[in-house]
Amino acid sequence: MRFSEFRRAVATEFGEQYGRALLRDLVIDKLGGRTADQALAAGISEREVWVALCDAMEVPVERRHGVGLPEPRTS
């Protein structure tokens, strides 16, 4: 998962404003007691942060995979 895909996934699942607030303010135990922003800054992968955020927010598994990927290009 790329950073742009991570940001898109957060915005898709939680909305722009709420998503930014979650990344900044929600302390997640699975990330060592860090927020998502802190974990990313510490070098934890976007995929690991996404999964931890989804676990913390109880996002159903079926909504976690493939989120954030850009729409396929049509020729």
Confidence at residue 69, expressed as pLDDT on a 0 to 100 scale: 61
Measured on CA atoms in the order 63, 65, 67, 73, is the torsion positive or negative?
negative
- Is the separation of the CB atoms in 1 and 45 below 8 Å? yes
Regions of the chain with pLDDT less than 70 = 66-75
Question: Would you tell me the crossing angle of helices 46-56 and 3-14 to the nearest 10 degrees?
Answer: 20
- For 42-62, the pLDDT digits (tens) are 999 999 999 999 999 999 988
Say if residues 22 and 53 touch (Cβ distance below 8 Å): yes
pTM given for the model: 0.85
* Closest to 13 measured CA to CA, from 40, 41, 44, 49: 49
pLDDT of 34: 97
Phi-psi map region of 69: left, alpha, beta (phi>0 left; psi -120 to 50 alpha):
beta
